Each structure stands twice: as C-alpha cells, then as structure tokens.
Amino acid sequence: MFKCRGCAYDTVVGNRRPTSVIALVLLAALAAALASNSRAPGIHGRVEEVVRDGSTTLRTVPRAGVDVLIVWRGDLLDNPVDSSRICLGAVHIMTNGDGSFSQPGWWKAPTWPPVTDVTVSAYAYSPGFMSVGPLFLTDEEAKLLKPNVHLIRRDFRAPSREEWLQASEGCGGSPGAP
C-alpha cells in the first residue's frame, strides 16, 4: 500500500481510477466534437432595394420574389495543423411579399472527421440588380444598413440567374431541407 501525503485515503498503486477518469474526459471531448457538427443554424432576413427619391435622398424598399441562396460552411478538422473550410450544403429560396425570407437550421448525424464552426450566409439575386455587400457600399448606402437586411441596387451587368445558381452546384444540395 502507498500512503498519499495529504490524502484522507490509502491508494493502491496501479489503481485504474485515474485511467478511467482520463478515458471518460477524452470520450466526453470526442462526443462534444461530434455533436458540434450535427447542427447548422437557421437564417432569416429581408431583401430591400436601394432607391433614390428624386435626386437627393436614398431609401430602401422591400423586394418580393428575389432569389436567395442560403449556404452553410464549416471547418473540417481533418488536419490538426490546418483545417479546411468546406461547403456543407446550399438551398435556394425566394423572398415573400414583404421581402423577407426564412430558412430553418438543420440537423444531421455526426461525421468523422468532425466539422466545427458551422456558419450560414445568404446571397440575394434579382435580374438587373446587384447584391450590395459591405465592400461595395457607398458611404450613403452604408447609412441604410440594418441587421439581417440584404441590400440590392440596379446594375448594368449582373450575372444571369443560371450563372448565379451555379455557385451552389458543388455544395451538395440542401441538407435537412424537405
């Protein structure tokens, strides 16, 4: 028997308790990693067109019938040094009468290697319009930004709908979507 200093009990050398605790901790960490890739967040928002009243004031108007591409991405933990950002799925929806859209999140069975940091993005498309992201906003348009609102403006060279939808082809369809 080995008497542990400061311990209130005797410990038998070779006791399997520490090994069991370590195994349980590792198993819990593995379960958490696998569970983290089984859920993807949903998204909701609105698409609004930037219009100019007269020649001076900009405002936004909700746009119905706009194509919205929803894309889920995550980090594939296949390499401990450098993980790969991969596309997990994509789905095409349209805005309703008030310019809003909503796509629920989804769940799928865990995979190996695990996928972490799952994010969702939305991209708006309407013929003759350009989706205006943060890099392409004018200072005046930036003042119109609101959470969960995607701005579009008329553009002379917008991609065709077919070109736009091709962006989702390599992404694997719509996971968990009905």
**Per the structure block, which two tokens stand in for 103?**
């796509």
Highest mean pLDDT among 34-38, 42-46, 169-173 belongs to 42-46
pLDDT the model gives residue 158? 59
- What pTM did the predictor assign? 0.66
In sequence order, what are the residues at sequence separation of 6 or more whose Cβ sits closer than 8 angstroms to the Cβ of residue 112?
34
Distance CA 22, CA 19 (A): 5
Buried/exposed code over 86-97 (b: 16+ C-beta within 10 A; e: otherwise): eebbbbebebee
Confidence tier at 138 by pLDDT (50, 70, 90): confident
Average pLDDT over residues 50-69: 87
